[in-house]
Amino acid sequence: MNARRAIIIRLPKDKCDVNYITRLMALTNLAYRGFEVWVPDIPKNIQYQIYGFKNYMGSLVFGTTPKRWFAETWVPLKTLRVYGDGARKGATDALVVLDFRSSVIRLRQVCRNEPRYVVTIPMPKWVVDRIKEGGDVRFAMIGLKDDEPYLALTAERVVEPHVPSGCRLVVDVNAWNNGVAYGIINPSNKIAEYSPLRPNLRLIDTWYYRAEDLHKRLGKLRRLGLDSTPEAKRLRREIKALRRKVYAYLRDFAQKKVHELVMKAIRLRAEVLIDDVLEESRRELLEMKLPSGLRKIYLAETRRFVKLLATQLEWYGVPYKFKRLPSTICPVCQHELTQLPGRIMICENCGFKAPRDKIPIHWALKAMPRAQVGPS
Ligand SMILES: [Zn+2]
């Protein structure tokens, strides 16, 4: 099986011609849509690469099929890898050169339309780590995101899924207010470990409400016609910084927790069951009557969490599957559960009682290999 992981790296804007990259992206978009347009003032070798990639449609853009009329199509490029021992792999006409001897990546003619124009960036540690794990970076892409130039690298690796030890790692992904719950079920079918992973909600709420406060003050200034005063500008800057802080914090939290879970799964040679109940979480959040901004924050990066988890499990050859594990149905008698204060669930039929986040783990206990669990 081929596993893939990707990274994006911001390129120095002062060394890139954004208009040129925009044109390359437009050509790529046409190529994806089946047109072949040869432009006289863009180097032929770049255009050859764009059309040469048509066969890979759907496989390149981080494993997703580009939308048909998506204007911002990143430009796929081949790479040449020059390893520490001098060995070379890849296309000799590649415009992206990963040079491990001098620890740099060289981009030829893709950042600006000038003969022999080269942009050099330091080799990211991410690339070195993937190579150490037996990966190879055969493809790169350049493109713009929010008008900033980026380089995307895709590492590929052939993996043999590991043979499960009989341990199961159950990951129940909810909105951040409840967090991600995980449980480890050992080979004798006992819950060996259980813990919810929750970001610091108080910190998130503090940042959110501070930004809301500033927003109100900004509104007042606006109504007084003081929109463009230094005070208003300062407020705007501060609001933006606070919002950015919340998202950066959640992104970082998601990344760290994914890494921890993946390392646990590798260590235990576990099979992973993922229950992604984000739709249910969304509904639950609506019932809680939270401000819509906060609701959005509680769901931010949760999809990415699931995607990162699946990608990294694949990369390390950890078998996993998605499974619906109910949290409101009794795992013993399948009677509807009643929720008590403190998110404790109780079955009025058989007396079963457990914290709500632990119910999915109990369901997973019942899901012995090949057995069918609950409604799917
Ligand atoms: Zn029951």
Q: Which residues pair with 94 in a beta bridge?
A: none
pLDDT at 256: 96
Q: Give the model confidence (pLDDT) of 42-91 as tens digits.
A: 888 888 888 877 665 555 444 444 444 455 788 888 899 999 998 999 98
Top mean-pLDDT range of 23-37, 44-58, 234-248: 234-248
Q: Give the model confidence (pLDDT) of 223-237 as tens digits.
A: 999 888 999 999 999
Cα 287 to ligand 1 centroid, rounded to whole Å: 25
Q: Give the model confidence (pLDDT) of 330-354 as tens digits.
A: 999 999 999 999 889 999 999 999 9
Q: pLDDT band at 372, cuts 50/70/90?
A: very low
Cα 373 to ligand 1 centroid, rounded to whole Å: 15
Cα 22 to ligand 1 centroid, rounded to whole Å: 60
For 294-306, give the DSSP string: HHHHHHTTHHHHH
User: When comparing pLDDT for 1 and 256, which is higher?
Assistant: 256
Cα 329 to ligand 1 centroid, rounded to whole Å: 8
pLDDT at 249: 97
pLDDT at 167: 94
Q: pLDDT band at 373, cuts 50/70/90?
A: very low
pLDDT at 370: 42
Cα 331 to ligand 1 centroid, rounded to whole Å: 7
Cα 178 to ligand 1 centroid, rounded to whole Å: 23
pLDDT at 57: 56
Mean pLDDT of 152-158: 91
Asked if pLDDT for residue 368 goes beyond 60, the answer is no
Q: For residues 304 and 300, what is the distance between their CA atoms, to the nearest angstrom?
A: 8
Q: Give the model confidence (pLDDT) of 156-214 as tens digits.
A: 999 988 888 999 999 999 999 889 999 999 999 899 999 999 999 999 999 999 999 99
- 54: Cβ–Cβ under 8 A, 6 or more apart, which residues? 31, 32, 34
Least confident of 65-74, 238-247, 288-297, 336-345: 65-74
**Predicted model pTM:** 0.84
pLDDT at 286: 85
pLDDT at 59: 52
Tell me the residues surrounding ligand 1 (ion) with CB < 5 Å: 330, 332-333, 335, 347, 349-350, 352
Cα 323 to ligand 1 centroid, rounded to whole Å: 21
pLDDT at 17: 95
Cα 173 to ligand 1 centroid, rounded to whole Å: 24
Cα 171 to ligand 1 centroid, rounded to whole Å: 23
Q: For residues 93 and 95, what is the distance between their CA atoms, to the nearest angstrom?
A: 6
Cα 369 to ligand 1 centroid, rounded to whole Å: 22
Closest CA to 135 of 83, 96, 64, 92: 83
Cα 300 to ligand 1 centroid, rounded to whole Å: 34
- CB atoms under 10 Å from CB of 142, counted, come to 26
pLDDT at 268: 95
How far is residue 255 CA from its own chain's centroid? 8
Q: For residues 173 and 25, what is the distance between their CA atoms, to the nearest angstrom?
A: 36
Mean pLDDT of 3-14: 91
Cα 359 to ligand 1 centroid, rounded to whole Å: 11
Mean pLDDT of 349-368: 88
Q: Give the model confidence (pLDDT) of 108-133 as tens digits.
A: 999 999 888 999 999 999 999 999 99
Cα 370 to ligand 1 centroid, rounded to whole Å: 23
Mean of the per-residue pLDDT values for the chain? 88
Cα 191 to ligand 1 centroid, rounded to whole Å: 19
Query: The tokens 């954004």 sit on which residue?
Result: 18
Q: At CA 46, angle to CA 44 and CA 48, rounded to 5?
A: 70
Asked if residues 74 and 141 have their Cβ atoms less than 8 Å apart, the reply is yes
Cα 293 to ligand 1 centroid, rounded to whole Å: 37
Query: Above pLDDT 70, what percent of the chain?
Result: 92
Q: pLDDT band at 375, cuts 50/70/90?
A: very low
Mean pLDDT of 300-316: 93
Q: For residues 217 and 220, what is the distance between their CA atoms, to the nearest angstrom?
A: 5
